[in-house]
Amino acid sequence: MSGDILIVDDEKDIRLLISATLEDEGFVTKQASNAKQAREHLVSRPPSCVILDIWMRDSDMDGLELLSWCRSLYPDLPIVMISGHGTIETAVQALRVGAYDFIEKPFKAERLMLTVNRAIQTAKLERENKELKTRNQDFSELELIGQSAAMKTVKASVDKLATTASRVLIQGGAGTGKELVARKIHESSERVAHKFVVANCAKLTAERADLELFGSESIQDGRRVVGLFEQAHHGTLYFDEICDLPSHTQAKLVRAVAEQKFKRVGGAAEVEVNVRIISASSQDLSKAIDEGRLREDLYYRLGVVSIIVPALADRREDIPLLAKYFMKIGALQFGRTPLKLGDDVLSAFRAYDWPGSVRQMRNVMESLLILTPETHTDVLTTADLPSDLLNGRSEQTPTMPQDIYALPLREAREMFEAQYLTEQLNRFDGNISKVAKSIGMERSALHRKLKSLNIQ
């Protein structure tokens, strides 16, 4: 167990003793002799745990008052109360206010360590449970699926970046899986025990953006807003569609990202955090900069390392793998047996352009599971597919002219063969061996035919 601990006690010897005990076990400690110093530490950077004395001389708050103040600011922060003049009534009152535990002085080092470790572990478990309950189901336990060269590059980047603290900018079209890539970087990093917080920039209006990102110093709408930066302390903050963030907030974000410092709305004190920033956009960033929708200085701070997530249409060899994977995931979600996908269905999937990319693929699999009766045990065929999946062929496929019947037989046959073979190549992502097997043609003969038709 490790973390940073704030020790608040008016007796220097007690502070030094507790600090030495904790540091021997790998903790980093900070000390405060009164409530004012404690508040300054807490506002600057919340620790993993607070050890707080109840009775303090020369302090504008006693321990119980400071406990209440801490709970209003950081409701999830574990606080262990200590006292040499404690009573049962005092202990009960501290626990009611929100203290994790109460220890009476003098105490043994083993008791202190056990209580601190349990307090931090309990807070961690509660935080993880809350995150699991609120976590978007679209990303629950999903994996990066694909064996294409493009996806191998993405996976290699995730593995490499997980071991660093570099800021990452993920680019790719809508539905390609940018947030999943960001989550995999987080889950493979040393920050995995802490939060992955999502800032949906499209929903951060000009009036609320600063408040939601940086929080408030005072009570807003009956509560104190804890900003997304503070929520992501020691974890990862993911900015979804960074170009949609209001311009005035982008200006403030430049410093917050670079220095990990900011001021809350209505506050004067600097707040320090330790947050990894990952951003994403589906837009043309150069165009967004030219049009003033993205600050150039922010772009350079966010884009220390870039990852390009390919569209599904650009990695057609991964389509069968993804179709079977999402069928399996969907079947588990709906509590039924996965449907079997026939070769003609997989070929139709490969020929389709998937404008909604991976997200659309998952939706299609779920739709098939919902609409297909559970009594259906046969292999799915193209007759079971929605019509748009059959009509939405690749734009690379040439269309036949209306006056084909006016052409000489040889020219019409060549035109048909060109379209037919181009379609087959799209279905099998250019794999000559698979195309030859599918159409019943020798591989060498197919090569000659493609060359004669000038098909690459």
The last residue of one of the domains, among 283, 310, 337, is 310
pLDDT for 383: 84
pLDDT band at 12 (very low <50, low <70, confident <90, very high): very high
**Position 398 in a domain:** no
Domain residues for 342?
313-391
- Residue 345 to residue 419: CA distance in whole angstroms: 20
Average pLDDT over residues 264-292: 92
- Residue 434 to residue 223: CA distance in whole angstroms: 63
Element (H, E) at 308: strand 305-308
249 has a pLDDT exceeding 60: yes
- Asked if residue 335 and residue 274 are part of one domain, the reply reads no
- Asked if residue 145 and residue 100 are part of one domain, the reply reads no
Number of domains in the chain: 4
- Asked if residue 200 and residue 123 are part of one domain, the reply reads no
Count of H helices and E strands in the chain? 19, 14
**Position 397 in a domain:** no
- Residue 364 to residue 373: CA distance in whole angstroms: 15
* % of the chain beyond a pLDDT of 90: 52
Average pLDDT over residues 82-88: 79
- Asked if residue 301 and residue 338 are part of one domain, the reply reads no
pLDDT for 370: 87
- Asked if residue 385 and residue 264 are part of one domain, the reply reads no
45 has a pLDDT exceeding 90: no
**Position 116 in a domain:** yes
- Asked if residue 115 and residue 242 are part of one domain, the reply reads no
**Position 399 in a domain:** no
pLDDT for 417: 83
pLDDT for 392: 55
pLDDT for 395: 43
pLDDT band at 361 (very low <50, low <70, confident <90, very high): very high
Q: What is the DSSP letter of 189?
A: S
- Asked if residue 408 and residue 435 are part of one domain, the reply reads yes
Q: 34 and 58 in contact (C-beta within 8 Å)?
A: yes
- Asked if residue 303 and residue 253 are part of one domain, the reply reads yes
- Residue 157 to residue 331: CA distance in whole angstroms: 31
pLDDT tens string 168-198:
999 999 999 999 999 999 999 999 988 899 9
**Position 35 in a domain:** yes
- Asked if residue 354 and residue 271 are part of one domain, the reply reads no
Least confident segment among 122-131, 243-252, 364-373, 392-401: 392-401
Bridge partners (DSSP) of residue 29 are 5
pLDDT tens string 378-424:
889 888 888 777 765 444 444 555 556 667 777 778 888 888 888 77
- Asked if residue 271 and residue 145 are part of one domain, the reply reads yes
Least confident segment among 106-110, 156-160, 272-276: 106-110
Copy the structure tokens of residue 439: 């159409």
DSSP 57-85: SS-SS-HHHHHHHHHHH-TT--EEEEESS
290 has a pLDDT exceeding 90: yes
216 has a pLDDT exceeding 90: no
